[in-house]
Structures are given as structure tokens and as C-alpha cells.
């Protein structure tokens, strides 16, 4: 029987071993997904505290037993209205959302087609479903159409064909060609699920994501996202038609067999979404994009940004770890992203910008001497 120490040693040798970091408050955080700085927003914190006082610390049971409380319903109603759907359902985490939704929508005999760079949680959900899995190269529309044509021709009358993509991809920060993907799924009478985890709060007139920015909300069957990034709190959601949501309530195991998210989490998430969709949210997005453009000007080797995620490519995992540590020693928190999160030999420093960053902070990190070999 292999021992854990042997596996850990192999990971260490390849510079791939992970450890839980202790992140001191003194570090300037350039890896948070709190894109609008809402995690510490007074209205979000106040909503959390008020709900704890009214409902207590937890929901005490699953939603189908006695854990479905007013804050959950109010949050779901807001999400459905914001996304232009009939209903929505929230989950305890983004991972639970992906796994619970895909494993409930799909079964043996169905087919799911995923972008190669889809998040691990989406891949896990697809695997758990028992459906046939097909993968197309990242954002490769020709290959996607080829798969859709073949899979739809082979599909049984009662089987489902689902295309899954992210709107903003978490490690490269690039956008999906969502308009073209939506047109293809409509052409081949398939379903479309879009994960807006890294687009919520960042894109769209009211901050609802890339689908809103492109006017495609009505073309998407399943709007997925998380409340733990730009929302600043925690949890995930799926917005869709009433019948699809009812099916999830009856079949999604991560929803059925899990204690409901604390009501305070739901109340704080609602407060965050209300800010995101308000004039204040628009101002925060303007500040965020100003910070993104300023970062780009300082580090021109970074690909033109289409999101808050700006990866600086390094290559070797060991070198990425060295640079990350040098930055940490100087007071900056910037993670080294390595295999298996990204392909081998594509290790990178993954910067994420926030509306909470100051120009001085951005100037300080981008002028750090460790960047000279990479950007000079």
C-alpha cells in the first residue's frame, strides 16, 4: 500500500505540493476574488449581523426539512429577476452548485460538451452525472460545432445535450465567444449552461455578467454563478425556468442532502447583489476597470485584460514559487498557479485586481524588481 508521505515527496520534488498559507493582514492582497471590495462593505456586514441576530448562526437543517427561510427566498427572487428567469436556487458553495446542478440535469444516455478550460467543479459534476462527456479545445467554435452536429445526430429522442462554458475563465481571465456559442446551441437544439462566477459584478450594465453585457440573457438556459467572488460573501446559484429549478430541488443531491446555507449568508449576499446592481456598483466597476487599465500600462507583457484576472506567465513551477515568495517577502500576496490547476509548464503569477486597490499599491507591486526578468 502506498503511503501519503511518498506522494507528498513526489509533489515536493515537482514543486507541486500545496500548503495552507497564513496570510497576514499586513500583506497587500493581489489574489482575492473580492473584485468590488464588498466583503468588508458596511451594508453587507450589517446585513450579516442583523440576520444572525434574527435567525441565529445556522439554518439547522436542509431546505427540504426546515432550513428554507425568508432570506433564502428573498435572495433567490432577486437573482431570478436580475437574470431575467422565472426562478433561481442557491447552494452553500460554488462547488456544490456545479456538482449538484450537472449531476441532476444529466444522466446516462445524455451528453455534455465542455470547454477544455472549464473549472474542476464543472468537470466533476459532469463525471458524477454519468452522461457522455465531450470536450472541445478552449473557445474553439469549429470543434464545438463539429461535436454538436455529431452528438445531436446520434442523440435519442428523450436524451439531453448540454453545452457548458464559463463566461470568464478563471486562470487566463479571457472571455468565451458567448454570442457564437449561444447561436450554435440554438441551431443544434441543445441546452446551454454558462458559469458567470468571475463575471458577476464585473461586467454588464447592472453587473450581472457577460450575458447581460451582450444582451444574451434570454438565450441561455442555465445561468450559474457564485456569491463568494465579487459578491464578497459565499454560496452559489442557478437561475433558470421554474420547471428546471423544481427538478433541481427534487434531484440535486448537494442541495437535498446538505444543511442550508446560514440565513445570514443569504442576507449578506442579497445586500451585496443590491449594491452590485445599484449606482454605487456602477461606480465600483468604473474604479475596478480604471485599476485594471493602470496595471496593464505598468506591465505591458500581460495580455490585454478582458476581466479582473491578469496572469503573468512564468513557465516553470519552481520559478513561479520563487517569484511568489519574493513578492510575499516584500508585502504582496500573489499566488503561483501550477499544475494541475493549469497545464504543465504554464505556471504563472495570477494577479486579480479589485476596486479596493489604490494606485500606489498597483505601482508598488508592478515595479517590484522580481519582474525585471519577465517584463524587462
The alpha-carbon radius of gyration of the chain (Å, integer) is 21
Backbone dihedral region for residue 182 (phi beyond 0: left; psi -120 to 50: alpha; all else: beta)? alpha
Element (H, E) at 62: none
Backbone dihedral region for residue 348 (phi beyond 0: left; psi -120 to 50: alpha; all else: beta)? beta
Please give the grid coordinates belonging to residue 45: 456586514
The secondary structure of 222-287 as a DSSP string is EEEEESSSTTSS--EEEEE-HHHHHHHHHH-HHHHTSPPPPHHHHHHHHHHHHHHTSHHHHHHHHH
Q: Across the strands, what pairs with 29?
A: 333
User: What are the start-end ranges of the H helices in 62-209?
Assistant: 70-83, 94-105, 120-129, 141-154, 178-187
Element (H, E) at 322: helix 317-329
Q: In the chain, what is the straight-line distance between the N-terminal and C-terminal CA atoms, in Å? A: 49
By annotation, the residues acting in catalysis are: 33, 119, 166, 170, 195, 198, 229
Rounded Cα–Cα distance for residues 59 and 259 (Å): 7
How do strand 161-166 and strand 111-115 relate by DSSP bridges?
parallel
Q: Across the strands, what pairs with 312?
A: 349
Rounded Cα–Cα distance for residues 226 and 224 (Å): 7
- What DSSP designation does 176 have? P
Cβ contact 44:233 at 8 Å = yes
Instruction: Encode burial over 127-140: b for 16+ CB neighbours within 10 A, e otherwise.
Output: ebbebbebbbeebe
Q: Is the peptide bond before 340 cis (omega within 30 degrees of 0)?
A: yes
* 3-state SS class at 64: helix
Cβ contact 253:101 at 8 Å = no
Amino acid at each position: 500500500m502506498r503511503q501519503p508521505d511518498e506522494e507528498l515527496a513526489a509533489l515536493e520534488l515537482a514543486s507541486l505540493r500545496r500548503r495552507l498559507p497564513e496570510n497576514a493582514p499586513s500583506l497587500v492582497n493581489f489574489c482575492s476574488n473580492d473584485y468590488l471590495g464588498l466583503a468588508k462593505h458596511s451594508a453587507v456586514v450589517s446585513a450579516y449581523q442583523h440576520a444572525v441576530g434574527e435567525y441565529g448562526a445556522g439554518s439547522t437543517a436542509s431546505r427540504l426539512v426546515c432550513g428554507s427561510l425568508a432570506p433564502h427566498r428573498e435572495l433567490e427572487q432577486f437573482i431570478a429577476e436580475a437574470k431575467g428567469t422565472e426562478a433561481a436556487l442557491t447552494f452553500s458553495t460554488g462547488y456544490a452548485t456545479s456538482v449538484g446542478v450537472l449531476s441532476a440535469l444529466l444522466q446516462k444516455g445524455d451528453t455534455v460538451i465542455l470547454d477544455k478550460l472549464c473549472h474542476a467543479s464543472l468537470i466533476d459534476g459532469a463525471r458524477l452525472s454519468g452522461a457522455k462527456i465531450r470536450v472541445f479545445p478552449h473557445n474553439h467554435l469549429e470543434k464545438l460545432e463539429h461535436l454538436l452536429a455529431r452528438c445531436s445526430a446520434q442523440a435519442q429522442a428523450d436524451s439531453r445535450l448540454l453545452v457548458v462554458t464559463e463566461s470568464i475563465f478563471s486562470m487566463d481571465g479571457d472571455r468565451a465567444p458567448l454570442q457564437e456559442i449561444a447561436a450554435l446551441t440554438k441551431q443544434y437544439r441543445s441546452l446551454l449552461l454558462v458559469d458567470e462566477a468571475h463575471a458577476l459584478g464585473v461586467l454588464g450594465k447592472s453587473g450581472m455578467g457577460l450575458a447581460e453585457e451582450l444582451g444574451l440573457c434570454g438565450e441561455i438556459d442555465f445561468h450559474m454563478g457564485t456569491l463568494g467572488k465579487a459578491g464578497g460573501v459565499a454560496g452559489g446559484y442557478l437561475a433558470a425556468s421554474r420547471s428546471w429549478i423544481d427538478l433541481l430541488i427534487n434531484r440535486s443531491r448537494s442541495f437535498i442532502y446538505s444543511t442550508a446555507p446560514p440565513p445570514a449568508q443569504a442576507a449578506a449576499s442579497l445586500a451585496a447583489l443590491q449594491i452590485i446592481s445599484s449606482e454605487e456598483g456602477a461606480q465600483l466597476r468604473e474604479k475596478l476597470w480604471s485599476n485594471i487599465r493602470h496595471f496593464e500600462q505598468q506591465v505591458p507583457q500581460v495580455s490585454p485584460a478582458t476581466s479582473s484576472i491578469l496572469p503573468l506567465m512564468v513557465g516553470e513551477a519552481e520559478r513561479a514559487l520563487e517569484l511568489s515568495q519574493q513578492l510575499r517577502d516584500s508585502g504582496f500576496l500573489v499566488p503561483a498557479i501550477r499544475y494541475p490547476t493549469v497545464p504543465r509548464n504554464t505556471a504563472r503569477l495570477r494577479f486579480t485586481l479589485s476596486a479596493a486597490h489604490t494606485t500606489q499599491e498597483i505601482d508598488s507591486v508592478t515595479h517590484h524588481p522580481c519582474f525585471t526578468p519577465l517584463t524587462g
